[in-house]
Copies of this chain bind each other. A is one copy, B any other.
Amino acid sequence: MNIKPLFDRVIIKPEQDQTLSKSGIILPETSQDRPQIGVVVAVGDGTTFEGEQTDMKVKVGDKVVFNKYIGNEIKIDNETHVILRQIDIIGVVND
Q: Which residues of A contact B (CB under 8 A)?
A: 2-7, 9, 11, 20, 22-28, 31-33, 35, 42, 44-45, 47-52, 54-55, 57-58, 65, 67, 72-78, 83, 86-87, 89-95
Q: Which 3 residue pairs of A and B lie closest in terms of their CB atoms, listed nearest first?
A: A2-B23, A24-B77, A26-B75
- Please give, as numbers and ranges, the residues of chain B lying within 8 Å of A50 by CB-CB distance: 50-51
13 other contacts beyond A65-B72, A74-B90, with CB at 8 A cut-off? A2-B94, A3-B65, A3-B91, A3-B93, A4-B91, A4-B94, A5-B90, A6-B87, A25-B75, A28-B75, A33-B72, A47-B55, A72-B90
In the complex, the answer to whether A31 meets B78 with C-beta atoms within 8 Å is no
Q: Which partner residue on chain B sits nearest A24 by CB separation?
A: B77
In the complex, the answer to whether A23 meets B3 with C-beta atoms within 8 Å is yes
In the complex, the answer to whether A65 meets B54 with C-beta atoms within 8 Å is no
In the complex, the answer to whether A31 meets B93 with C-beta atoms within 8 Å is no
